[in-house]
Each structure stands twice: as C-alpha cells, then as structure tokens.
C-alpha cells in the first residue's frame, strides 16, 4: 500500500475519486476514518490498489491501437504503466487502462465545493464562447459569488442554487443544465425537444450556481483551517463536529430567511435569537453579503421570472401572500409535470428570496425542492437529479 498525506480541501470521497478507489476500500484500509466526521490535513492514509480496468496485450497490438480502442491517449497509458514502451508492449503482458475520456465536463469527483464550482465555470467558459461569468458579490470569507450568463435576449431570467450549505448538490445540477444548453446551441440541436435557439434569442439567463460557498465548505470539510472561528462554530452547532445538517452561512445566518418580505414575522415564527445551523434570520434583512449580493444583482437585471433551487422534497412552491400573477400556479404545474414533481401552494413562510421577488415585482417566482431524501443528498443520485434539473429548467426556459 502507498501512503498519502491529507491536504487542505481533501475529503474521503475526493481522495477516492482521484485514485479511482471505492470509499469502502479507503475505509477498510484506514479504519480510523469512521471514528471522526472529517479527515484533517497532515493525517496519514493508506491507499490500496485500485480497481483499474486491465487489458492483456494481443498479437499485433501497439500503444496507439490500444489507446484508440479504449478512447484514450498514448501518454495516458504511459502515465499509469511506468516503463511502458513499444519494445515492452509484448503479447501476454497485462496493462492498466485509464478512465475513458469524454462525456460531460460537469461531473462529481467527490463532494462539490467552491473550488470544483470555480473550476467548472472556467472549463465551461473556455469551451463555450456563448457563456461568460461575472462576479456579483463575495461571501463572508471573501469567496467570489459568480453568475454564469447565457443568451443574447433582452429579457432576463434568474436561477440560483446552494443558498443552503447542505444543499450543495444543486450547484453541479444547474451547471450540468447550462452545459447541455450551451452544447445544444453550439451544435444547433434541441434539448429535450425544446428549441434552444429561441431561448438564446429571447432571453439572457443568469445562473448563480453557489450562493453560500462558506456554508458548503463547512458542511463538506468541517472547521479545519478556520482558526479561531472554529470554537464559535462548534458552539453554534451544539458541540457537534459534524456539520452535515448546517444550512446557514459561516456566521450562522440562514440565507433563506434574509430577504425583505415580512422579515419581522419570520423572525417571530422561527424563534431563533442567535446564530444556529438553520432558521436564524440574522440581525436584519440583507445583513449577510451573500444575500445582499443576490438581492442587488436581481435589482440590476430585472428578471421576468426566477427559480431558487433547494433540496429536497420533489416539490415546487409558486405563491406568496397572493402577490403572484394568476398564471403562476398553472406555470408551476407545467414545471412539476416536466420532472414528476408536485406543485404546492405554501403558507406560513416569509423572508425567502422567492417571497421577496414575488412581492417586489408581482412576477412569477418559484422554489424548487430537488430530489428526495436527507440532505446532503447522496452523490450516487447526481445523474438522476441532474436530469430532473434539466427537465425543469427546459420547461422554465419555454414558459409563455
């Protein structure tokens, strides 16, 4: 077995993905992992042999022919087979094969945090010239909050994800949709039967994939590296080292209760007087930079309709204190039908982004509760969740 020294930002799932291991392999080789909620920089892990696919060289094979057959490059074969060369490429020799290249750019390689989100935004805008990225604000800890812009129309639309820390899976799902949209537009093809050229011509879509990067990172990595703030966060978390249930930002403010829509009544309803993993609305509306950035960006683009993506429940909320247009319910049912969700009329809730948008603009706003289960939703659900996201977003883009 090889030794590995844990680095900042590492998680068990990220290490497993990097070395093509199953999580269970790492747990078996390192039993101590199960006794702590997070691995920490400097800890030593043992890496067992991976489950790499293998191939036995046949008569007439060359590195080039094998690379072509398995959709990889010769350099990829050389990288995982030290000493491999044409002269040692003898029949009967077994070699390891690299992962198949291709497929979507947006993939999950362990938990999806601010670093993965930033890297995907860079990859997407490098591949697709129809996409651009703008910073619309920054988190408490200074992490940029970025918006992806797609389309050339003069009618703006807005969607965002990961307002809550433990709902981070909404971020890659939204970026997978954006990738599929851009790919279809570039090829001149449709997406789930919808004409994306019409979307592009009519609308400018603003997509903010990760509103709460500090909260996401806290859920995924715990307080390691947060210095003096660690003790305060642990206190707010009831002494628990595991932040899996954390929805708030790094100051313990629930960004889902930060908007100026009967905020005082939400404060009374929640009954939270100080920072907590969830439901503390903060000392005032828009007190947190993440909420303020989202608010100011919305004011600047004046969108026709919006979606705030959350998880979980497979429900779509569409109303707020009778301020919504009369056709909002019909549109919500169309969105729900696209993915087999339920359109739900919600009451007894204030101060959300959707609430403020509907009250302020008297235009359609929706909250989508993606998937079903316990947050954070499991990584193995990602492909299904991404498909549901794309189905709802395609319907959202086509509303009229």
Point out the residues that are catalytic: 369
How far apart are the C-alpha atoms of 203 and 393, rounded to whole Å? 13
Alpha carbon separation from 200 to 132, 155, 190 (Å, rounded):
14, 10, 12
Helix, strand, coil percent content, the chain, rounded in steps of 5: 40, 15, 45
Do 391 and 173 meet the contact criterion of CB atoms below 8 Å apart? Answer: no
* Alpha helical stretches, state H, the chain: 12-18, 23-29, 63-69, 74-80, 114-127, 170-187, 196-202, 213-221, 229-236, 263-270, 289-301, 328-339, 353-361, 382-397
C-beta of residue 22 within 8 angstroms of C-beta of residue 41: no
**In the numeric block, which tokens belong to residue 284?**
């005032």
The owner of tokens 């995982």 is 80
Are 369 and 313 within 8 A, CB to CB?
yes
Contacts of 386 (CB under 8 A, 6+ apart): 106, 172, 173, 176, 177
The torsion angle over the Cα atoms of residues 247, 248, 254 and 258, rounded to 10 degrees, is -120
Cα separation, 257 vs 33, whole angstroms:
35
Q: Using alpha carbons only, what angle is made at residue 182 by residues 179 and 186, rounded to the nearest 5 degrees?
A: 135
Partners of 157 in beta bridges: 205, 305
3 state SS of 46: strand
String of DSSP letters for 97-119: -PPPP-S-S---SSS--HHHHHH
Strands 131-138 and 144-150: antiparallel
Looking at the DSSP bridge assignments, the partners of residue 315 are 342, 369
């Amino acid at each position: 077995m090889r030794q590995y020294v844990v680095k900042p930002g590492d998680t068990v799932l990220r290490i497993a993905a990097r070395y093509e291991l199953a999580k269970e392999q790492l747990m078996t080789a390192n039993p101590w992992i199960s006794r702590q909620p997070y691995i920490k920089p400097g800890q030593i892990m043992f890496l067992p042999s991976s489950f790499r696919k293998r191939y036995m060289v046949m008569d007439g094979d060359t590195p080039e022919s094998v690379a072509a057959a398995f959709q990889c490059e010769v350099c990829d074969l050389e990288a995982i087979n030290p000493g491999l060369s044409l002269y040692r490429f003898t029949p009967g020799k077994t070699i390891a094969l690299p992962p198949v290249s291709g497929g979507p750019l947006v993939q999950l390689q362990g938990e999806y945090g601010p670093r993965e989100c930033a890297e995907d935004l860079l990859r997407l805008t490098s591949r697709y010239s129809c996409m651009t990225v703008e910073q619309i604000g920054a988190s408490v800890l200074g992490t940029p909050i970025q918006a992806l812009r797609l389309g050339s129309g003069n009618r703006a639309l807005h969607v965002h994800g990961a307002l809550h820390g433990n709902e981070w899976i909404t971020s890659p799902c939204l970026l997978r949709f954006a990738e599929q949209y851009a790919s279809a537009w570039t090829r001149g093809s449709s997406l789930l039967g919808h004409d994306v050229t019409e979307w592009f011509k009519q609308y400018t879509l603003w997509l903010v994939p990760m509103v709460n990067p500090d909260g996401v990172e806290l859920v995924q990595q715990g307080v390691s590296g947060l210095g003096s703030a660690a003790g305060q966060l642990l206190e707010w978390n009831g002494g628990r080292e595991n932040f899996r249930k954390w929805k708030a930002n790094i100051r313990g403010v629930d960004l889902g209760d930060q908007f100026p829509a009967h905020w005082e009544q939400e404060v009374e309803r929640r009954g939270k007087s100080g920072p907590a993993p969830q439901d503390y609305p903060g000392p005032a509306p828009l007190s947190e930079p993440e909420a303020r950035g989202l608010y100011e960006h919305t004011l600047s683009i004046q969108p026709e309709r919006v979606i705030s993506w959350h998880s979980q429940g497979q429900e779509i909320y569409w109303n707020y204190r009778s301020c919504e247009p009369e056709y909002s319910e019909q549109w919500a049912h169309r969105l729900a039908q696209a993915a087999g969700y339920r359109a739900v009329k919600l009451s007894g809730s204030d101060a959300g982004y959707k609430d403020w948008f509907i009250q302020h603009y008297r235009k359609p706003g929706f909250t989508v509760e993606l998937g079903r289960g316990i947050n954070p939703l499991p990584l193995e659900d990602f492909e299904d969740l991404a498909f549901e996201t794309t189905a709802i977003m395609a319907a959202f883009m086509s509303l009229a």
